[in-house]
Structures are given as structure tokens and as C-alpha cells.
Chains A and B, each alone.
Chain A
């Protein structure tokens, strides 16, 4: 049984709570707006509407947040592995009894509500990783720790991929930020950057250009790096690996993606354009945001969103409604709040003497960062369309609950 903590009132980071409340409020306002039809204002307490349901999610989230702030943080830490396994169990269960929404089989229906275990898994993984990393003390344990960390992330990724939810799978890559902070070798990062560049060049142009680019880089490194002879072998190996990678890119692209995903990638790379067909959603999304101008069309006055030109406008594409009705000014407010939230988490994590809090904080920040940049990136045409929600703003109980728990656990841990 949770036992009451005596020192609740002091030390909770008020700023984080403030950012949280602001984002949730903006989210609800925007969901209300997307539900309205042009020129008609709807009663606020209509629980058959999305905004009415979101009100329930917000209220229950507040309850959750309060509970988290009241209980002893050690109890949450104590049940971290159990939570991880429980979420994993639910995710596997989804594969068998799940409901399919928008092509992803990632929902469990309970009566009229559906929950998405993957959302909670992000929280559970962050918690479990932090606990696990804190526990690894001996040298032997440390040596093999990366295998466990890798497994802890890859298991949910595999299950999520089986659910055809590529977006959520990508979110689990966010823990790279945590690992980087905790000493991940620079070479991994360099490898990653080289691989990304080569992959984009291969897809955008072709293998010849990619190999050419790799060769030029290799020769440059060899010439400039003549002094450090001992790295010869490493560079040659890297070069060979690059060429092998280049040739595998197209194969992976062809086999690894669904046709609609390939289409989305091609659109972002500028290889295809079909604004009335496959790119309709992206095109309408850009029109919605772009037509907002400096100060927007005014609350409840967006035509793109009111007239349903933008798809999924209360969930994944909710930023369109903000961009359209509040303009660049609204964009700045949302960016500012997210920036402040993320930087605040990172700062508090860095400052905290307790490594567990830092591990957990970097994990949470990573999840927010990836969600934010992918979501905004896809609505504005920077990234291919990857369906993940905008944390705390998008409609959805699972997402809101999970992010609330994630954030308030951090607030709680940070205070302890």
C-alpha cells in the first residue's frame, strides 16, 4: 500500500507543472476548436464529443498526477520492472485481441474506451532503464550492461513493429540521448551520422553518388590523417562497411517499408508529388499551417480544420489547428512551452545528485523530444508522415495518462 509522504508541498518543480498545465490547456482548447463546425459553438460539457472525453482524460490525469506526487517515489521505483513486464504483456495481448485503428493494431478495447499499451510502455521503459542502470555496480555487470539495455529497448520495438506501428517504434530510439549522456562512444554517433547521410543520398540520388561521397570522404581522411597511421585499418574498415551499407539501403527500403510508407518518404525526398492523391494529407496540413500567417485566422475560425480538410486534426495533426488559428505567434508559444519543458527536465536531471533521477530524466526528455520533433516535422513536411501524437496536446487518454505519469514521476523523483 502506498504510504503518504510528509514533505509533499515543498520542492516540486512548479515551472514544470506550469508548462504541463499550459500545454494541456492549449490541447483542450484546440480539440474543442477542431470539433466545432464553422460558426457554431458547441456546449462545453458534451461528453459525446472528443473535447468532452478529453476533459475526462484531463481530470483523471490530474488525479493520477496528484497520486504520484503523494506516494513515496521509492514505491514507484520498486515496481518498475513489474510495470515493464505488465505493459509488455498488454502489448503482446494486443497482437491477439487488439483493435485496428488506422492500420496499426495497437489498441485494446474496453467498452467504449480504447487504451494503447505502447504509450505506457514508453514510460515503463524509461523507468526500467533508469532503475537498471542505477543498479549495475560491479565491473562485470557494467561490461555487459549494454546488452541488457539494448534488449530492454528492442523487445518493445519488436512487438510494436509487429503491431505495424512504425511511429511508436521510432520513439524508442529516443533513449539514445540517455545513452549518449551516459558515455556512449562518439564513434556510434559518427557511425549513425555517416549512415544517415549515406542512406539519404542513396535514396534521393542513387548508390553511385553515395559511394562517390564515401570515397571522397575516405581519401580526404587518408590524406589529412597521414600523421595518425595507426587509424589506417579502422578507416579502411569503415570505408568498406560504408559501401556494403550503401548497397543494403535500397534492399532494406524495398523490403522493410510498406508501400504507403515508401510513398511518404519519397514525397519528403521530393521524388514524387501527388497533392490530390497520396500526398493529400500532407498538402492540406501544410496549407492549414501556412495559411495561418503571423497571427492566425482567430480561434474557431480556421477553415482548413473546421471543414475537415486536415485529417486526424484532433490527434496526430492537431498542430495544424494551432498553426491555422493562432499563426506563427501560436507556433512560437507552443515551441516555447515545449522548449522550456524539455530544457527544464534536462537541467533538473543534470543538476540532480541522484543518478537514477538523471537516467530517468534523460529518458523522459528523450521521449518528449522525439515526439515533438517527429510530430511537428511531419505536419510541416520536414519529415515523412509518421503517426505519433503531440504530447499533452493531442487528443487521447492513453497518451495523456502516460505522459502525465512520466512527467509527474520525474517531478516526484526530482524532489526526493
Chain B
């Protein structure tokens, strides 16, 4: 176990570090391995120790201008060169350029007869010579424990190893010592006793027949470091460690709004589309049109001249392109133009980590503005791992300002039936597709469940897919409920008929009222005429009366006059 070795070195304000160039590892160690000190990389057979060490050297030589010495106690130089050639590492070339020295130390017990006192000065001389010949700054000893098999005098060996690590420190060499994992301790021979500044443990686990490699920084004296187990990946691109890229949510957000290519959907969202750089979940059961909506978004993005990348797990790229033709989208044209790339793979082909790492790499290389993962629910794994994978996937995309479209078969947005992994909460926008079954038919409907940072329609829309594209229709919402499909058409027809009836009734009533009004007016006219004739008669009678009165008065006067004259 880790004993207290030599007194802490002179206290330097910040521990100088040497970048390994292994993406992710430098991030979790905040800079790399401790400069000028040996570090221990241990793990079981086949977990990538040698590759880790080789990558450290190759990156040092090619990217950081630090030549390195590889002292191999196990593999011959030729084997080593051949083994890493598949990763594109040209060790022979680096050796020829004087950036790398490989020394194979062969240790065979049968060939060594011990006849008295000895030490391992020869090893020091070889290492020293190799270091001096190329001015090396980095050293790898892989796997120095092999020495224990070759020499019987363990006391001498341990003393010499202690001296060797002291020598490495004195020379200011940054070294990786690899060690095979032993029972109950990190390495078989307890190398951690000698190399105590930085210990990295590599692991290779098989769960559900899928292998996941993991890396953990066991200790790092004098430095903070990520303490979790991080998955790492070895593929044609070398080694990459995948930390949860941003535990802190401090990525800058991309500005702008992207249209979906579906006019009706854009109209449901206040800014006329989704925010750029957000993650969008399209959930719905089989056959609800998820892929078609995703295809439509791809087409819209490509038409704007943006790059798109689609990771498809259930269909081939060709099949999706062909199917999209049925709604009038020509995706093949974008593929040819180099704007669109399909990456199709069965979900079971790799473990989750591998999928994630593959995406990571492809995305970094293609630099798309839109990424489609279709469907997200195809990825299977232990719930905890699944969730962390999703998180990292979303982080990965968000930190790059990439708009992500995920489709999910589960309409409630969960990934797993048994657990409550709500991907939906990680998503910025959620479009839910629902098949409504009524009257012996199914019709497609669409809701915008949420869209962070924008006002959006809360109403359901019916959508149809035809050769001219995807169109959204306002669903019937009325006293009879929400109706779609034929029921909507029937209801609308009924409503139209009723409206017509109402209108006709109205007209009839208006006519009736008019008629009555006219008849009344006619009556008024008649009465008025009667009144006039009455008035005329009255006037006539009145004048006759006057004339009679006058005549009578005249008669009386005449009579009086006649009587008066007679007296």
C-alpha cells in the first residue's frame, strides 16, 4: 500500500503538468500528468495500458515537441510498431526523425545465471543513453514488473527500482510506469509504493456482453482531479476519455432561430421556429411520423446551407432518404452535396460509451449545425449508464452550439419502462405526436408540449403527410370536443349545414319583418288618407254652416227692416 515515501518535494505554487494529448484525460486531471515525475498506469491485461503510454509518447513527440523513450519489457519493438500502426501512429517514422527511441529489454529468467552481487546499472545506462540520444523529456517503462520474473534477488531489485524512480525525478523526466493489476493491490509487485505521485487505474468490464472501458485517477498528489470512473474508448482514432463534459452548465448559447421546414409547426412557435443550439425531442409511437418531421428539419437546415448529421439506429440512410421522398423531401441531394451525413449502426453494435464516443468523434470531424438521433430510445443499457450517456450526449451537442433533434418511441418521453428516466426534462423543446383513433381511423396529431424560451401554441394540430410535404391543420375544437380526421370533416360539414340553415332562417325572418313593416306602413297611409277626407268634409260642412248663418242673418235683417218701416 502507499507508504509515506520521500518527503514532499519543494513546494511549488502550482504543480507543473505535462499534457498527454489524450482527449478527456487532460481535462479530468486539469492538465495532464505531473511534470518531471513518474506516474503509474495500472490495470488488468488488455485494458490499454501500453496504448495509453504509447499515445502519451507519440503525442509528446508530434504535438508538444517533447521526444520520448519507450522502454518495453514485454513487447519487441517491431511488435509495438505494428500494434499501434492501426491507430495511425508511425513509430518507425518518429524513430527516424529522432523524436522517439524504442528499447526492448528482454528479460528471460532461463538465460540469467546469478553468480554474485550485481545491480541494474545496465538498465540505467540504457535508459540514460536513449534519453540523451534524442533529448527525451518523456519516458515509458512498460511493464517494469517483468524484471521481477527475471531476477531472483528481490531486495536488490526493489532497491534498484527505488533508485530508478529517484533517477527519473532527478533527470526531470515525465514518466509512465505501467503495471499489471494484482490481487488486493493495484499492481502485482506493489509498484504504487514507489510511484506515488499519480496513479491511474484502467479497467475493462463486460456487462450484458458489451465491454466498457473505464479509467479512474486513483491519486494525484498535489493536484485536484476528477475522481469518478470515466469511460474511455480505444478505436482507430486512438484513446479518448469521456468525462461528463460540463458538470457546470456554462456553455454559451447559440443565437438565432431555425425554421423546421413545416410552416404550420413554425407558426405554432412564436419566433417562427426553434432556438438554435437547443435539444428538441420528438416523441411518439411507431408510425406517428417522427422520422418524417426530423427529415423535414434536416431538409430545411441543408437548404439553408448548414451541415447535418443523422445518427440512425433503425434504418439505413438510404431508406430514410427514400422514405422522405414520399413527402417531397429530396435528402439524397444533400448527401451528394456533402451537407448531410448518415451514420447508421445497430444499437447493439457497441456499448453506450462506444456510441457516444463515436458520435463525439464524428461530430468533431463533420462539424454539423444540426444533429438528428433517430431514435434515442433504441439505445439500451443499465438505467444509470443510460442517463449519464444521455446527459453527456446532450452536453456534447450543447457545448458546441449544435441543434439536436432526438426522436423517441415512448410517447411519455421516458426511455425505460421500469425506471423514471425522464429525458424530457433534459430537452429544451418537446413535440409530441399522437395517433388519435376514432371512428375506425387514425389521424396524426401534434402538440408542442414545451419550448423553453418562447411562447408557443398550446393547441393540438392535426397533420397530414402528402407528396407535397407535411401540412398542419387546425384540429376541430368545439363543444363536441377535439375532433380529427374524418370526424373533423363530418363535424365541419355539419356545422356548415347548420350555419346555412341559420342563415336562411335569418333571411326569412328579415323578409317577414319587412313585409309586416310594409303592411303597417300601408295601413298608416290609408288611415292618413281617410283622415284627410274627413278633414276636407269637416271644412266643407263648416263653410256651409257659415253661409247658412250669413244667409239667416241677412234674412233677419231684411225682415226687421221691413217690420220697422211698417210702424
**Are both chains from one complex?**
no
